[in-house]
Chain A
């Protein structure tokens, strides 16, 4: 690819769908992902400005959404702190679900960069495999998280009864099962939209999936706790 072509590539308005990326990719046999990265962060680009410009709005929106979850926490803090295992579990579950969102986002972004068009997820073996992997990992981690939280609270001197333990397991299992499905769907939908708009899904998908996981985790958890206890 010649220097003038590169310059032209860099000068394309971000809001356009980078027609030159398509042309160069076809004629030079370079993946669109590579060309896209060169355009966003290559020589001549002010890296921090690109990052701030593409991430700021979505991070502010994520904070807005998360603060709604925080508001629910603040409102229910006396209930939550009365059930110590959930205080210990809450960040672990948020982390776990957010991280699964990051794994899904990273893998899906990579798939989008490697392919031109994604088929529907149920017809794509790579996406089906990713879903099963993520769900299986989440369910294994539910056992680890609940076990850990109960051990910590028992060591702290507040051992819950057998019935309470059963309810905690059920609440956490339902919460995680529901949220893995939602986060997967949100990542696929948002990733496709963002990629089609010609932006880097890495900058958008992670904040969106983690915000969804965080808020819904709090809301669903508080809802299930209210029903179960």
Chain B
């Protein structure tokens, strides 16, 4: 039992707590913005994919950076290292392409299934994705370096951290994009 409920377990539990609190905050924002969600047809189609994309991109980014740190390829805090820059560029390319696909899918679903021509769905995820990336990617990198420096395994801690902060950032970016469009 002691082998199971050890430091690693406490790390997972602590990180999950952060994640659940972040998720509840996102849920609270969603509940408060009920009118917007109900007013924009198809917005909920984008919602899970958009939140997930943030976790996927930032989570994979943190895992790659952590592997580089463990293998000694990279030093914590070296923001100009080619691995860091490459990861930054890669994250933006992925967000732009995948958000475009997500918007296209949501638009197609609303046209073909619900019979509504909601063209704003093509722009909202793209704009929101770039906005969220501008905040979330530097935050993920900084957190990965900080966690590694403190002797914790980023694989255990960063995933939940990036998804919870990413969710709040994403949902706010999504509503900002809805307002702008």
List residues of chain A with CB under 8 Å of any chain B CB.
33-34, 37-38, 41-42, 46-52, 55-56, 59-60, 62-64, 66-67, 69-71, 73-74, 77, 81, 84, 87-96, 98-100, 102-103, 105-107, 109-110, 129, 132-134, 136-138, 140-141, 144-145, 148-149, 152-153, 156, 200, 202-203, 206-207, 210-211, 214-215, 218
Contact = CB atoms under 8 A, between A and B. Distances in A.
Contact of B48 (A38, A70, A99, A156): A70
Contacts of A136: 4-5, 9
25 contacts: A33-B67, A41-B64, A42-B73, A47-B82, A47-B90, A50-B90, A60-B98, A73-B45, A74-B45, A77-B44, A90-B27, A92-B23, A94-B48, A95-B23, A99-B16, A99-B159, A102-B55, A102-B155, A102-B163, A103-B160, A129-B3, A133-B8, A136-B5, A137-B16, A138-B16
Nearest to A138: B16
B12 A133 contact: yes
Contacts of A152: 24, 27-28, 31
Nearest to A60: B101
B179 interface: no
Given A70-B48, A81-B38, A152-B28, 18 more contacts: A41-B64, A48-B87, A48-B93, A51-B86, A60-B97, A91-B27, A93-B23, A99-B19, A99-B55, A102-B59, A106-B159, A140-B13, A144-B20, A202-B67, A206-B55, A207-B52, A210-B59, A211-B52
Contact of A145 (B24, B38, B98): B24
A134 B12 contact: yes
A123 B115 CA distance: 53
A38 B97 CA distance: 27
Nearest to A155: B28
Interface residues of B, number: 75
B26 interface: yes
Q: Classify the secondary structure of A's interface with B.
A: helix
A103 B68 contact: no
A71 B111 CA distance: 13
Contacts of B63: 105-106, 109, 202, 206
Contacts of B46: 67, 70
B4 A96 contact: no
Contacts of B114: 74
A206 B59 contact: yes
B30 A103 contact: no
Contacts of A207: 52, 56, 60
Of the listed residues B45, B73, B89, the one surrounded by the most CB atoms of chain A closer than 10 A to its CB is B45
A96 B19 contact: yes
B167 interface: yes
B21 interface: yes
A66 B171 CA distance: 16
B101 A63 contact: yes
Contacts of B66: 106
A51 to B, nearest CB: 3
A67 B68 contact: no
B44 A37 contact: no
B110 to A, nearest CB: 8
Contacts of A48: 86-90, 93
A34 B71 contact: yes
Contacts of A200: 64
A99 B27 contact: no
A70 B12 CA distance: 28
